[in-house]
Structures are given as structure tokens and as C-alpha cells.
Amino acid sequence: MKKIILAAILVLCSFFGSFTIALYVADEVFPRTNKRLAIETKSAIISGDFLNDTDVKDVVVRASMDTDSSVILAIAQRRDALAWFQNDTYSLVSLKNESDDLQVVQGENATKLSGDSDLWVTAIAGKGLANLAWNPQQNGDWVIVLGNQKDDAKDKSPNAYTVDISYEQLEFRQAKDIFLKLFGFSLVILLIFSLITYFTRDRDFPPKHVKRRTRRFKIFSLIVTSTSILALSLTGCSNNAEQAVPQYPNLTQSQEERIYASLTGVIANAEEKNDAKLLESRVAGAALTVRKLGLKLSGISQIKQHSVLPAATREWIVTNNESFPRIAFVVTNPTENRETERILLMMQESPRAQYKLMAIARSFSDVQFPAFSDNNLGSQQVAADDASTTDKSPIDALTSYAEILQNPESEKVGEFNYDELRKSLAELTESVQSGVETNKGKQSQKFGIDDKQIWAIKTANGGEFMIGVIYSVWTRESGEGRYSRPADKGEEKLFEGKTATSVLEVKYINIVALTIPPKGTGEKIKALGAERIPYEVNAK
């Protein structure tokens, strides 16, 4: 028993000793690497394995030029950098161990680089000089973007840049190899030492005791030998195994945080100055309509309460498509007054555009959001007419939902779960109906989708999660020469200055979030959240 314990201690000492030596050797043998480039170009994309190797740390890039123009350095996905420069003249620089390749790509335009693009994971600018620090991240094909903010973008004359790059390469893969070889070698030495000790010592034991000790030693020898062979064989495991084409998400966590902070900052500034024009840098589409109404109706407590955008997000669902436009869904935390989460749709129209808030809905109480692909890979963005894995495409699902909002008795009702929007709409319609009947009048509502404002992403099970916009018109008519008047404070505010008649027409924007189940499950389409707000009131 004592010898077994001693052997175990020797194995552990061999393990930790080999690991320590391997790290020390790797750190000493592979010191900090320095590279210098002298480039004459307008802008450049610089690539190198060290930008994507997670065994590399503390990459420092220093770029300078002989003018006082603002030098910009950024880190981006290769595909995003190429998309930015697609119509420009720029240089492709590939840094290799033996030699550096430089290729000039001729384009129609000269580049005026922007340092605040949402495409950049990180960026920095400086007058004639910029220093950027980077630690390689997983799930990316990273490159350095180099350029300047010269005002004259038509000037294609190159700039003279000096670029110094340094980094420390820990080479953990080689450290692993060193460790495994040392550990395997230590185990072999231990085995040989044990065998020599066993066969050279004097034996004076009863035959049965000898047989028992021999059997134990054989078992011990087999274990040590097997472990040694396994340790040595691991050093030969191929690092060149074929891998699937990687899927890279369109946003990193740092980009998500930066985009959301910019969005909330723009909205807060617009609200503080009560200026809807200030929203347009980060808000568009249906969301812009809603936010403008929020400013116009800010004195109404219910509208103001609903317009609150929480300061933090709970989850981003990002896509991995290379093409544009690109979208991302965002689920916020609940608001400070314990209102439910907001569901946001962010969209980047083109490489040089910023992500903008296109739609926003309040989630219903106690809803279960579907599971999505890991954000380290990104989810698949799908077209509005995609029904490859579902019984209904997003556009068909939205059309059917609009139909049941207009006609609760529609045959399409059975395709959907009952939800809070349909319930509140039914209750409101019923409450208004009693007043309409008293006035011997009538009411009607018409709903129609906006097929240009539908956005969808595949869920993990092959279903789809979508946000879409439905416009509706609610017409209320009073009989016997009576006037139809606004039904609430919001409608009153929108009707100010207009003359009442017997017919009142109220236009609404309805933003809904739906989850569509995959084919063959028999599940129903579910509404997860909605926003419904009047945006125009007229007398007819």
C-alpha cells in the first residue's frame, strides 16, 4: 500500500513538474514578436495569424503618418472590412513569417474612414498617430483596418504610413506538446526504475505472497505503461484535422453594449430636448413613428410609461449572414417600475450604416421565449417568405394574425394561441360598442400588414421568431346627427384643433412579435409581445 501511494505521488510530481517546465520553456523560447511596415496607401486591411490566435496576447498596433490627419486603427471581421471598402481603392497586406504580401485593390472611390462604425469591434483615432491594443478573440477572422479621416475623399493620392506591430505569443499548443513529452518520458523512467528495482532486489517471501505481489506489480506496470503510451500518443494528435467552415456572429458583446448605449443615449437626448429629429441617427421605421408619438404625447402618463426603454439588455440574438441588411433581436430587462421586457429589432442597412432601432414591442406577461443558436455562432436570418422549416412563412403568419385581429371569428383563429393583444382589443371594442349602440351608430376596424417591415430569425428547433408591423384603421360613426369624439387622452391630443363630425377615423400602428413552430409539431403560432398606439385621428 505504501508503494502504491509513493507511486501516485511520483506520478503527480511528474505531472506538475512537466507542466511547469513546459510553461517556462514556452515563455522563454517564444518571446515578444515585433514587426514594422512602411506602407504607401490610402487605406489598408492588414491580416495575420497572430490576430486570430488565442495563444497570442497583448497585440499592440502603432500607426503614424507624416500629416496631421486623424489616423484610424480598427479591428473587424475580414468580411466586414472588405464590405466597407467594396467600392474603394485600398491595400491588402498579409503578414507572414517568411514574407509580407501587399496587393492594391483598385476601386472607384478614395476612402474617408469612419472610426465610429458599428462594424468595428474596437477602434481608435489620433492626430497623425494612433495606438491600438488587442487580445485575440474566438469566433472571428480578425483584421486590422487602417485609414484616415481626410475631408477630401476624392483625393486618391496615397498616404505614407509607418505601422509597428508587437505581440506576445505564449504558444500553449507547443507548451502542451512539451508537457506531454516530459510527462510521458517521466512515466517511462518511473516504469523502468520500478522494473529494475523489482528484478534486482532479494526475494525471501512465501510462494503465495510472491505470486500476489507479482500479480499486483503486473497490474501496476500495465497501468503505468498504458498511461505512458497514451501520453506519448497525444503528442502525435493531429492539429490539422479538417474543420467545418466557421460561422461567425455579426456582433460581439462589446459591440452590442456600445450600440445599445448609443441608442439609449440618442433617445434620452431627444427626450430632453423634445426634438424628434435627434432620433434619426439611431431610430427608423415603425420604431421612429412610435418614438415620435412618445414625444408628442409625453404629457400622457400611460404613453410615457410605455415608452420607457430599460438601461440594460438581457439577451441579444444576433445573425451570422455576410450580406446586408443585417438584423438583431434584443430582449431588455424589465423596467424599473416592473413593466415587462421590451423586444427590440435592430437593423444595419449597409456596411457603412449604423444599427438602428426599427421596431419595439412590450412582451406579454409570463411568455416563454424560444431557444436560439449559440451567439458564438450566430443565428440564421431568414426572408419574410421563408417557409423551409415551418408550415407558415413570416409574411403568411403576420397576414393571418392581422385577419384574426380584424375578424375574431376567422377560421385562422385555430392557428394561434390566445394572447394579451387580442384580449385587450376585444375588451376595448366591446366597451366602445355599448356607446355606439346608444348613439345608434356603428364601428369597424380594418387591419393590413406592412410587407416591408417584417424581420425573422431561425430558432434552434427550426422554427422562426419574427417581428412585423400591422397598420389598422378604427372607424366609429354616430347616428342621429351626433358627433363622434376621441375615446381617450391620446386620441384627444392627436385630434386637437380639428372639428368633430359624425365619423371619427383613428389610425393605429401595431407591432407584434410572433414565434412560428417548425413543421410537423402541431403547435400553434404564439404572440410573445406587441405595441399598439394611435398615430393619427381625423374626422370624416
Q: Do 384 and 425 belong to one domain?
A: yes
Confidence of residue 113 (pLDDT cuts 50, 70, 90): confident
Residues 507 and 417 in one domain: yes
189 or 495: which leads in pLDDT: 495
Residue 449 in contact with residue 399, Cβ under 8 Å? yes
Examine the domain organization and report whether 197 and 124 are in the same domain: no
The DSSP H or E segment spanning 423 is helix 420-438
Average pLDDT over residues 120-145: 93
> Residues 215, 88: one domain?
no
> Residues 399-424: what's their mean pLDDT?
96
Read off the C-alpha cell for 195.
522494473
Q: Is residue 440 a part of any domain in this protein?
A: yes
Q: Pick the residue with more confidence: 431 or 395?
A: 395
Task: Answer whether residue 35 is part of any domain.
Answer: no
Average pLDDT, integer, range 452-474: 97
**pLDDT tier at 388 (50, 70, 90 boundaries)?**
very high
pLDDT score recorded for residue 238 = 45
Same domain (yes/no): 279, 183:
no
Question: What is the SS3 assignment for 252?
Answer: coil
**AA identity, residue 300:** I
Residue 151 pLDDT > 90: no
Closest CA to 78 of 55, 125, 45: 45
Q: What is the pLDDT of residues 212-271, one digit of tens each?
A: 555 655 555 555 556 555 555 554 454 444 555 678 999 999 999 999 999 999 999 999
Give the Cα separation of 70 and 388 in Å (integer). Answer: 48
Any domain includes 166:
no
Boundary residue ending a domain (157, 187, 221): 157
| In the block, residue with C-alpha cell 490576430 | 51
* Domain assignment present for 247: no
User: Is residue 269 located within the same domain as residue 205?
Assistant: no
Q: Give the pLDDT confidence score for residue 246 in this predicted structure.
A: 72
The confidence score (pLDDT) of residue 54 equals: 84
Span 157-184, pLDDT tens digits: 788 999 999 998 865 555 556 556 666 6
* End residue of a domain, out of 96, 124, 157: 157
End-to-end Cα spacing for the chain: 99
pLDDT, averaged across the chain: 84
Domain that holds residue 127: 43-54+70-157
More confident residue, 227 or 273: 273
| Domain identity same for 355 and 499 | yes
* Count of Cβ atoms closer than 10 Å to residue 101 Cβ: 10
User: What is the residue type of 15?
Assistant: F
pTM of the model: 0.81
Which position has the higher pLDDT, 484 or 519? 519
Report, as an integer, the average pLDDT of 429-452.
Answer: 88
Q: List strand residue ranges (DSSP E) for 312-459, in order.
A: 313-318, 326-332, 342-348, 356-363, 381-382, 442-458
Kindly calculate the radius of gyration of the chain based on its CA atoms and give it in whole angstroms: 33
Classify residue 143: in a domain, yes or no.
Answer: yes
pLDDT of res. 313:
93
**Same domain for 530 and 437?**
yes
* pLDDT of amino acid 228: 54
The answer on 266 and 190 residing in a single domain is: no
Tell me if 397 is assigned to some domain: yes
With a pLDDT cut of 90, the percent of the chain lying above it is 56
Interatomic CA distance for residues 307 and 300, integer angstroms = 11
Say which amino acid occupies 161. Answer: Y
User: Is the residue at 407 inside a domain?
Assistant: yes
Number of folded domains that form the chain:
3
Is residue 59 a part of any domain in this protein? no
Read off the C-alpha cell for 119.
462594424
| Tens-place pLDDT, residues 310-349 | 888 999 999 999 999 999 999 999 877 777 899 999 999 9
User: 380 with 452, same domain?
Assistant: yes
The one-character DSSP state at 392 is S
382: how many CB neighbours lie within 10 A of its CB?
Answer: 23
Q: Are strands 381-382 and 526-539 parallel, antiparallel or unpaired?
A: unpaired
Query: How is residue 373 written as a grid cell?
Result: 443558436
Residues 360 and 325 in one domain: yes
Torsion of CA 429, 303, 260, 365, to 10 degrees: -50
Q: What is the DSSP string of 190-248?
A: HHHHHHHHHHHS-----HHHHHHHHHHHHHHHHHHHHHHHHHHHHTT--S----PPP--
Give pLDDT, residue 289.
Answer: 93
* Main-chain dihedrals φ then ψ at residue 139, nearest 5 degrees: 60, 50
